[in-house]
Amino acid sequence: MTENTESTESQFETGTVVYDPVSDNVGEYRGKAGPYALLRPLGGGREWEARPETLRPASPGERLSAAVRAANSRSFQGQREPASPVPVRDCAACADLAALRDDARARHDGSAETDADVLLRRHQLRYHAALLGLREYALVPDASAGAEYETACTECPAGSGARPGPADVEEWQRGHTRETGHTRYRRTVADYAVLASR
């Protein structure tokens, strides 16, 4: 019993969605509760204890069914479901899932429509979270890249290209002025930043 419990502890991380055949339920693995594994229903609810040796990762179909049941349960309890997700432009996966939803809607198949919405939300959370504001991100300077300086002559198409420092740009300007007599320049400074999850 101890060996099975220990192997489950190493097999499942907190948050893993597993299937409990004893209760015939899908739940989120929360950790150990004595000799038992502690599971929580998807979407929240009362936790239950399960025998660790009987658990296995939930299949995609089981996960989807559990997510749909949780969504339906929230609807019956008066919790408003978010509007149907809008596909991200130029994303083939979003377009395919939205087409599945539209087809289900045209057939008046509410269950299939909900399933497609769940899949589309899951896809967007995984691949488009920053773009859609589904997670909080902060814009921070990229420490691996320094600022770049550049200048362009306003009297001809010549430009310095990106340079590592302002002195390099000024040296290019002086040389260009000596060669052409041009004296007016447009200067720009650029830096790099990354979106970091908070």
| Predicted local distance difference test score (pLDDT) of residue 3 | 45
> Facing residues of 27 across strands?
18, 41
Range of the domain at 131: 82-135
For residue 83 the two structure tokens come to 């509007």
| Predicted local distance difference test score (pLDDT) of residue 114 | 83
65 belongs to a structural domain: no
H/E element, 59:
none
* In the chain, % of residues over pLDDT 70: 78
Q: Which residue has the higher pLDDT, 162 or 125?
A: 162
For residue 87 the two structure tokens come to 């596909």
* One domain for residues 15 and 41: yes
67 belongs to a structural domain: no
109 belongs to a structural domain: yes
Question: What rounded mean pLDDT belongs to the chain?
Answer: 79
* One domain for residues 154 and 127: no
Distance CA 29, CA 55 (A): 10
H/E element, 143:
none
For the chain, the domain total comes to: 3
Tens digits of residue pLDDT in 22-66: 888 898 888 887 888 888 887 777 788 888 899 999 888 888 887
157 belongs to a structural domain: yes
* One domain for residues 19 and 50: yes
* One domain for residues 130 and 152: no
Domain boundary among 42, 58, 74: 58
Decide: pTM greater than 0.75: no
| CB proximity list for 110: less than 8 A, separation 6 or greater | 104
190 belongs to a structural domain: yes
CATH, residue 10: 2.30.30
**Mean pLDDT, rounded, for 74-85:** 58
* One domain for residues 117 and 154: no
Domain boundary among 109, 135, 161: 135
Is residue 1's pLDDT more than 60? no
Contact predicate 55/48, CB 8 Å: no
| Predicted local distance difference test score (pLDDT) of residue 76 | 52
**Mean pLDDT, rounded, for 138-149:** 71
* One domain for residues 131 and 152: no
Is residue 72's pLDDT more than 90? no
87 belongs to a structural domain: yes
141 belongs to a structural domain: no
| Predicted local distance difference test score (pLDDT) of residue 158 | 93
